[in-house]
A and B are shown apart, each in its own frame.
Chain A
Amino acid sequence: MKIKLKIWRQINAESKGKLVDYSLDNVEEDMSFLEMLDLLNEELILKGERPVEFDHDCREGICGTCGLFINGRAHGPLAGTSTCQLHMRSFKDGETIYIEPFRGGAFNVIRDLKIDRSSFDRIMSKGGYISTPVGDAPEANAVPITHDQAESAFDSAACIGCGACVATCKNGSAALFTSAKITHLAKLPQGKVESRARVLKMVEQMDEEGFGHCTNTLACQVECPQEISVSNIDRMNWEYNKAKILGKGD
C-alpha cells in the first residue's frame, strides 16, 4: 500500500504546531497503525530528520497510553478499538491520513502527538478508590455480590483512561472518564460507604482541571475503545445530586 500522511508536528507546549506531509510506499495491510508510524520514524531517523513522538506502550489495547486523532476521529475509524489495535487494512491504498494528538479539556501537547493527561491522575487521587487499609481485609465471600452487579461494575471499571472521551467531546468534558470510576465503586457494596464524599471531590477536581461540561452529545460513548456507556454519566449526576441534597452523611 501507498499512504500519504499529514501529521501534527509541534516542538513543545508553548510553540505553534502544524501539519506536515509525509508519504510511505511500502505499507502492508497487516501492519498495525503504530507499526506504520514505526516505519515512518525509521525512515526519518536514517534521513537525519527528527522522528515523530507519539504515546504508546502495551500495543494490545489495555494500557491506555496510545491515543491519536485519526482522520478527525479519536482512535480512528473502528468502533471499540484503540489506536494500537487499528490495522492498515482499515485504510485504502493511496489514502491520505490526518494524524493529530488528543486535544481538549485539560490535555496539553508535550511534543508532536504526545500529550499530558496528568489531570486524570489528579481526579483519581481525589477519591477514585475505596479507603480500605492494605494488608488485612474481611473474608472475600463474606459480602455476596450478585453476578449481574459484579458484571455491571466491571463494565464501568473497564475504562483504560486513554482520554478519547475528552478528545472527542466538543466541550472537552471528562464526564465519561470520571463517571466510570464513580459508578464502578458506587455499584459495589464496598464502595457505597464513601460514595457521596467521593462524587463531590472527584467532580470538583474535574472542574478545577478545566474540563468542560457535559451536554449529552453522547460522542464520548461512540469513540470509547472500551465502549463505556454514557449511562455512567447519568449515574454520576444522580450520585452527585444525592450527595448535594442529602450531604456527605445522611
Chain B
Amino acid sequence: MIQQELREQLLDAKIPEGPLAEKWSRYKATCRLVSFNNKKKLDIIVIGTGLAGSAAAASFAEAGYNVKSFCFQDSARRAHSVAAQGGVNSAKNYQNDGDNIYRMFYDTLKGGDFRAREANVYRLAECSANLIDQAVAQGVPFAREYGGYLSNRSFGGVQVRRTFYARGQTGQQLLLGSYSALMRQVEAKKVKLYTKHEMLELVTINGKARGIIVRNLDTGKIERHGAHAVVLATGGFGKIYYLSTLAMGCNGSAIWRAHKKGAFMACPSWTQIHPTSLPQSGSHQSKLTLMSESLRNDGRIWVPKKKNEDRNPNDIPEEERDYYLERKYPAFGNLAPRDISSRAAKEMIDAGHGVGPMKNAVYLDFKTAIAEYGEDTIKERYGNLFRMYEKITGINAYKQPMKISPAAHFSMGGLWVDYELGTTIPGLYSLGECNFSDHGANRLGANSLLQACVDGYFIIPYTIGNYLADDIKTGPIDTSQPEFEEAEQHVIKNLEKLTKIDGDRTTDYFHKKLGKILWDNCAVSRSEKGLLKAIEDIKQLREEFWQRLKVPGTPQEINSELEKAGRVADYLELGELMCYDALTRNESCGAHFREEYQTEDGEAMRNDEDYNFISCWQYNGFDQEPILHKESLHFEEAKVITRNYKK
C-alpha cells in the first residue's frame, strides 16, 4: 500500500501553476538556483553526445558544474543527430504567414493527436525562437535569402513556413554547433569527455541516481563513475526493428537499464514510421536510408492505378496515376503528417499498387516541380539528396521518380519524464528522443532537432539546479560504496554470460527475427491478435537467444559482436514491453493505429473518454508482466478536436 502511494507521488508531472503562456517563465523565476561557487562542488554525468547530450554538457560546464560526458562513438560529433536532414522548426514568423508560439504549440499538439502534455508542448514552441538565435551565433550556416536573411520551408502537418534548414544536412550542422560548444568546454577542462564508452548500468544509492558503470569499448575495461545527477540523452531505439533509418549503434540499452532500476517507460510502442525512406532491396540489407521529408515540398507522391503495374513510371500517363495523398487529403496533399502518409502508403502497397522489384514502394515524382522551377533550382534545394539516391540505387531522380517506402524512424515513446525532464528516479534525467515528452503519438517533421536542442540548451540547465540545490554539501560521490561494487559485478556477470553461451546463431540472426516480429505486428498498424502472438514469439526468441547465441572473443578486449549482443538482449525485453503498450491501448491515435479502432473511411479513431492518458510502465522483473500506471492528460487551453487533414 505504501508502495502504491509512493508511485502516485512519483507520477506527479510537476506542471507549474498559472496560465499556459506563463508557466515556464514562472518556473524559471521561482526554481531554486545553485550559486556559481557551489556549482564547482557538483558533478553531472551526461550519457550521449547528440544534440541533447552535447548541448546539455556544454551548458552545464559553462554554468560551472563539473561534467563527465560519455558516448559510444569514436568522436562526439558522430552521434546520430548528425543524420537529420530536413530542418528545425521555430516560430519566428519571418515569413509573415501567421505563425506564432500558440500556433506552433497547437500544430505540435494536434500533430501528436492530443496525447502529449500541454505545458511541455507550449514550452517547446516558446523556446524555439531562441534556438535559432543560438545556432546562428555558433556559426550554423542556415540557408539564406539573397538579401541576407534566413530562409524557411514547410514541413508536414503545418500550413506555415517555419522550418529552418542547412541544405539537407541540418542535423549535421546543428550537431557541429553543439559539438563545438562541447569541445570548447573540454579545452576549458570543465568537461571530461569519454568517447568509446558505453553505459551498462545505472547506480542508485538511497533511491537516487548517483553514478554509472561503463565499458571502455577499446579495451573492455569496466569503469565506475559517480556524480550527483545522471542525465541520459541516448536517442531513439527504432533500431529495435533492425531495418530502420537509425545508425547501427543506436540502442535502447541505457534507458532500458535505467528502466530496470525503477525509471518508468512511457508509451514505448509509439514509433514514427517515416514515409519517405528508400525501400528494402534484399535480405542482406542492414539499414534503410531516409530521404528527407523536405522533398515532399516539391515531390508528388503517386502509385499506378493498375495493380501489379510493371511499365516504366515515365510511360504511365497522368490519367493512370493515383496521387493518393492529394486525392485523400486535399488541404495538406503531399505534406500530410508522417503517420497519415505512411499508413496511406502501406494501404496502397497492401492493395497491390506497390512498385519496384519487391513491390514495396511508391513513387515520389519531381517532374512537375522541375517543369515549374527548372532543374537548377531543384538541384540547389535537394542536390545532396538526389546524389545520395543515385549512389544507393543507381537511378537519376531528375529523370525518373524516386521509389520510397515507410521505415521505422523515431521513438516518440521513451523514459517518462516530468516537466523538469526528471524520470521517476530522483537525480536521473532524460532528454531528447530517449524521453517521452513533447510529440505525443506522432512527431511533426523538424520538431526532433528542436526538442533535443531545447531540452539540452534551455530546459535542463534550469531544472537540474532545482534538484542539485540539495546536494551542495554532499561532497564527491565515493565509487567504492557497495552499490557501485554490486552494479559492477552485475555488469561483469552479464557480459560473461553472453560470451559463454557459445551457441550456433549470431546476434544479427536474433536481431533480424525480432525486427520482423515487431515490424509485422507493432509498427504501421497493430491488432490485438497480432500483438498477443508477437508477445509469445518474442518470449520464445528470447529463450532461444540465451541458449543458442554465439559471441566470439572475450569481454576483456575490443569486441563489436559483444556490444551488439548486449544491445539485442535489451531489445528482446523492450520489444515485449512495446507490444504490451500497444495491446493495452484500445484506440487509434497518431502512429498507434489499432486495426480494430478505425472510422469507416479508415482513419484513426481516438477514444478520449477512456484513453486520455500516458501509459507509464513499471518494470516488474525478468519475464514478468509489466505494471501499468497512468498519467491523465488535461487540456486547459487547447481545443481537443479530431485530426482532419482533408479540409
Contacts and interface: CB of A to CB of B under 8 A. Distances in A.
Interface of A: 28, 30-32, 34-35, 38-39, 41-42, 44-46, 48-51, 53, 55-65, 78, 80-81, 85, 87, 89, 110-111, 114, 116-118, 120-121, 124-126, 128-141, 143-147, 149-151, 153-154, 157-158, 160-161, 184-185, 188, 190-191
A195 B392 CA distance: 39
A161 B75 contact: yes
Interface in B246-286: 247-249, 281-282, 284-286
A45 B561 contact: yes
A55 B78 CA distance: 12
A149 B136 CA distance: 14
Contacts of B247: 57-59, 63
Given A28-B284, A118-B75, A138 B137 contact: yes
Given A46-B550, A48-B552, A135-B461, A56 B391 contact: no
B136 A137 contact: yes
Interface of B: 55, 58-59, 62, 73-78, 80, 82-83, 92, 94, 130, 132-139, 141-150, 166-167, 169, 171-173, 176, 179-181, 183-184, 186-187, 193, 195, 218, 247-249, 281-282, 284-287, 289-290, 387-388, 391-392, 394, 457-458, 461, 504, 506, 508, 550, 552-553, 558, 560-561
A190 B136 contact: yes
Contacts, number: 218
Given A60-B388, A118-B75, A141 B552 contact: no
Contact of B147 (A53, A56, A144): A144
A45 B552 contact: yes
A85 B441 CA distance: 33
27 contacts: A31-B284, A35-B285, A38-B284, A49-B552, A58-B247, A63-B82, A78-B391, A85-B388, A85-B391, A117-B74, A125-B186, A129-B181, A134-B62, A134-B134, A134-B457, A135-B461, A137-B133, A141-B94, A141-B150, A150-B142, A150-B143, A151-B141, A151-B144, A157-B173, A160-B172, A161-B75, A184-B139
B287 A60 contact: yes
A135 B184 contact: no
Nearest to B248: A57
Contacts of B92: 140
B284 A135 contact: no
Nearest to B245: A60
Closest 7 CB pairs of A and B: A144-B148, A129-B180, A137-B137, A137-B133, A154-B141, A140-B136, A150-B144
A137 B457 CA distance: 12
A147 B144 CA distance: 5
A62 B82 contact: yes
A153 B177 CA distance: 13
A118 B180 contact: no
Contact of B82 (A58, A120, A141): A58
Contact of B75 (A62, A120, A130, A140): A120
B514 to A, nearest CB: 17
B180 A128 contact: yes
B463 to A, nearest CB: 14
Contacts of B77: 64, 121, 124, 161
Contacts of B166: 154, 157
Contacts of A145: 144, 148
Given A59-B286, A140-B150, A129 B74 contact: no
Contact of B392 (A63, A87, A132): A87
A20 to B, nearest CB: 16
A232 B187 CA distance: 25
Contacts of B285: 35
Given A46-B550, A161-B75, A134 B187 contact: no
A180 to B, nearest CB: 11
Given A57-B80, A134-B457, A161-B78, 9 more contacts: A45-B561, A58-B78, A59-B287, A111-B558, A118-B195, A134-B181, A140-B132, A154-B141, A158-B169
A130 B180 contact: yes
Nearest to B60: A134
A136 B130 contact: yes
Contact of B58 (A57, A80, A128, A134): A134
A147 B145 contact: yes
B137 A63 contact: no
Nearest to A116: B74
A70 B509 CA distance: 28
Contacts of A137: 130, 133-134, 136-137
B144 to A, nearest CB: 4
A246 to B, nearest CB: 22
A140 B139 contact: no
A184 B387 CA distance: 23
A39 B284 contact: yes
B119 to A, nearest CB: 21
Contacts of B94: 141
Contacts of A56: 248
B289 A60 contact: yes
B78 A46 contact: no
